[in-house]
Structure 1
Amino acid sequence: MTAVYELFALRYATREARRGEHFIGGDPHDGPMPMDYFVWVARNADRAVVIDIGFTAESGGKRGRKLERCPIDSLALLGVDPATVRDVILTHMHYDHVGNFDKFPKARFHLQEPEMHYAVGRYMRHKQLAKSFEPDDVCGMVRLNFDGRVVYHNGAAEVADGINVVPTGGHSAGLQFVKVNTKRGVVVLASDVTHFYENMDTQRPFTVALHVGDMLEAFDTLRAHAASAELIVPGHDPQVMRRYPPPSSELDGIVVRLDVPPAQ
C-alpha cells in the first residue's frame, strides 16, 4: 500500500505586488496582486519530507523581500526538527526556494540535474536570468554535492514511497513539481510551474522565464498529473491561505492543511 502523508503549506513571507508583474505581456487590469512565499511539509509516522526551504533575511533583503518568520525555525510549529530531516526536495534553485540549506545537517537534497547545470552555466552571465539566483546558495549546493548530499534526478522519480517529482523546465531549466499521496488523493504541489491559480487558468505564464513554450506546456503537464483541478496547489498564491484550513487556530494565517479539500 502506498504511504499516505499529511501535507502542509507554511507561509513565511509576503510582498505587495501588481498584476502586471505576474503575467508575461502585463495585464490590462493592473491592480494590486500580492505574492506569498511558502515552504511545504509532507509527514507521516515514518518521515517528514520538506519541499523547498525559502529565502534568508539577507538574500530576501537584497530584493526588497521581508521575512515574516524564518521558514526553517517555523518547522517546529509542525513538530519537525530540521536536524532530523533526511530528505529535502528542491523544486529549483531560485533564491526563494533554496536559501536555508545549511539548516539541514543530515538531509539529502533532491534536484533535477539540469537545474545545477543551468545555475553554474553560461546563462548566468545574463543579469535577467541570474537575478533569480543567489551565488552563495549555488556555491553551497556545489559544496553539498562534493559531500555526496545532492541526489540528482533526470526525469520523473520517486523520492520516497508516496512522494514523486516531475520535471517541466520553463521557469527554470530544472524546475520540478511534487506529487504527494494524501488521504484526499495525490496532491500536486506546482511550486513555480504556476505561481498563481490564474497563471494556469488563463494560460499566461509568470514573467520570470527561461523558455516560454515549456512554461505553457507545463500547465498541461500539471493537469495530466492531477485527478482534478482542486488537487493542484500553486506556488505563490495568497488564495492558498484562504482556500485551505489551518491545522489549529493558533496557526491561522501561518500554516494550512493541503491534505483536506479546499473550501468551495
Structure 2
Amino acid sequence: METYEILALRYAVHDRPARENFLFWPEGDPHAAMPLDYFVWVVRNAARTVLVDTGFGPEAAAAHGRTLLVHPAEGLRALGVDPEAVRDVIITHLHYDHAGNLAAFPNATFHLQDAEMAFATGRCMCHARLRGAFAVEDVVAMVRHVYAGRVRFTDGDAVLCPGLSVHRVPGHTQGLQCVRVATERGAVVLASDAAHYYANLETRNPYSITVDVAATMESWDRLAALADGPDHVVPGHDPLVMQRYPRAGVAGLDAVRLDLAPTGR
C-alpha cells in the first residue's frame, strides 16, 4: 500500500472563550480562552498530491472577524504545491472555512459527499441558524462545478486512491466526511469538523455547531475505528495540533507534519 506525507497548513486564527466551543456547558473555567485554528491539509507522495479543503480568503476573514495569516493558495505555494497543478481536492464539508477559494484550483476535481450537497442546497438552508456557516457564493460555485463535470460524489465510504479514503461522519453537517491516510506511522484520520478539538473527543462534548447530536457522537466512534490509535486522530481546529506535531520546516509558514509521530501533549 502507498503511504503519504501529511502537512497541516494553519492559514487563519480566531480567539474565543471556551464555552463557545461546546454544545453543553464545559468543565473548568468557561471564560478561559480557547482559540480556533484554521487548516488546509496536503496529502502527498512521489506519485500524487491531494488537497483536503480549500479554506477562505480575505473577504470571508473580514466578514467573520477571523485573522488571516496567509492566503491558503500562497501557503500551498510555499509548501511546493502549485494550486493550478492540483488535480484532486477533497472537500470535507461546504462551510465557508473549508470550501472557499475554489477558483484557485482550476484543474481540480472536487470530491464531496452526496449528503453534503443535498444539505447545503436543500430545505435546511431555509433556517438562518443552519445556513450561517455556509457562504452562498461558495455553494453556488460548487454547483457550477457539478454542471462542469468537476465534482465526484461519494455516498458513504470510498477509496480515492491506494492508501487514501473518505468516510461520511455526519453530525456537524449532514454530509461531513473525514479522510483516512496511510502513513509510515499507520492510518491517520483527518477528522475535520467531526472533532474541532481534542477536548470534544476527550469530554464527549460536541462542538456548538451540530446539526445532529447523536450522529456526532456516533461519528466519534467511527473516527476511532478508522485510526490506528488515539494519537492518529487529528482534530480540525485545535491549536494543540501545532504544538504536538513536528514543524514542516518552511520558514515563515505555520505548517506541521502529521505523518510523523506527535512529540508533545
TM range (shorter): over 0.9
* Mapped pair 1:241 → 2:219: no
The whole-number CA distance in structure 2 between the counterparts of 1:160 and 1:149 is 17
Matched residue type, 2:144: R
Tell me how far 1:125 sits from its aligned partner: 1.1
The whole-number CA distance in structure 1 between the counterparts of 2:186 and 2:24 is 35
Change over 3 Å in CA distance of 1:19–1:106 after alignment to 2: same
Partner in structure 2 of residue 170 of structure 1: 171
The whole-number CA distance in structure 2 between the counterparts of 1:220 and 1:243 is 22
Change over 3 Å in CA distance of 1:153–1:47 after alignment to 2: same
60-69 or 10-19: bigger deviation: 60-69
Deviations along 1:92-149, one digit per CA (max 9) or x if unpaired, are 0000000011100110000001100110100111111100100000000000000000
The whole-number CA distance in structure 2 between the counterparts of 1:249 and 1:144 is 33
Tell me how far 1:249 sits from its aligned partner: 6.0
Partner in structure 1 of residue 213 of structure 2: 212
Tell me how far 1:23 sits from its aligned partner: 0.5
The whole-number CA distance in structure 1 between the counterparts of 2:250 and 2:87 is 29
Structure 1's unaligned 5+ residue stretches are: none
The whole-number CA distance in structure 2 between the counterparts of 1:241 and 1:94 is 22
Partner in structure 2 of residue 7 of structure 1: 6
The whole-number CA distance in structure 1 between the counterparts of 2:111 and 2:57 is 20
Matched residue type, 2:163: G
Matched residue type, 1:256: V
The whole-number CA distance in structure 2 between the counterparts of 1:72 and 1:125 is 32
Deviations along 1:163-187, one digit per CA (max 9) or x if unpaired, are 1001011000100000111111111
Deviations along 1:6-56, one digit per CA (max 9) or x if unpaired, are 111000001101110011123252111011000000111111100011012
Secondary structure, aligned partner of 2:16: coil
Which aligned runs of 4 or more in structure 1 are off by greater than 3 angstroms? none
- Alpha-carbon contact 1:4-1:182 (below 8 Å) kept: yes
Partner in structure 2 of residue 121 of structure 1: 122
The whole-number CA distance in structure 1 between the counterparts of 2:158 and 2:9 is 24
* Mapped pair 1:54 → 2:55: yes
The whole-number CA distance in structure 2 between the counterparts of 1:42 and 1:121 is 31
The whole-number CA distance in structure 2 between the counterparts of 1:61 and 1:212 is 30
The whole-number CA distance in structure 2 between the counterparts of 1:195 and 1:218 is 13
- Alpha-carbon contact 1:93-1:119 (below 8 Å) kept: yes
Secondary structure, aligned partner of 2:165: strand
Partner in structure 1 of residue 257 of structure 2: 257
The whole-number CA distance in structure 2 between the counterparts of 1:214 and 1:19 is 23
The whole-number CA distance in structure 1 between the counterparts of 2:25 and 2:98 is 25
Matches within 5 A, 1:46-85: 46-85=47-86
The whole-number CA distance in structure 2 between the counterparts of 1:66 and 1:129 is 24
RMSD (CA atoms) = 1.0
- Alpha-carbon contact 1:94-1:133 (below 8 Å) kept: yes
Matches within 5 A, 1:67-106: 67-106=68-107
- Counting aligned pairs with the same residue, the percent is 46
The whole-number CA distance in structure 2 between the counterparts of 1:207 and 1:38 is 19
- Alpha-carbon contact 1:19-1:26 (below 8 Å) kept: no
Secondary structure, aligned partner of 2:13: strand
Matched residue type, 1:169: P
Secondary structure, aligned partner of 1:178: strand
Tell me how far 1:263 sits from its aligned partner: 1.0
TM-score scaled to structure 1, two decimals?
0.97
- Alpha-carbon contact 1:113-1:174 (below 8 Å) kept: yes
- Alpha-carbon contact 1:20-1:27 (below 8 Å) kept: yes
Tell me how far 1:257 sits from its aligned partner: 0.4
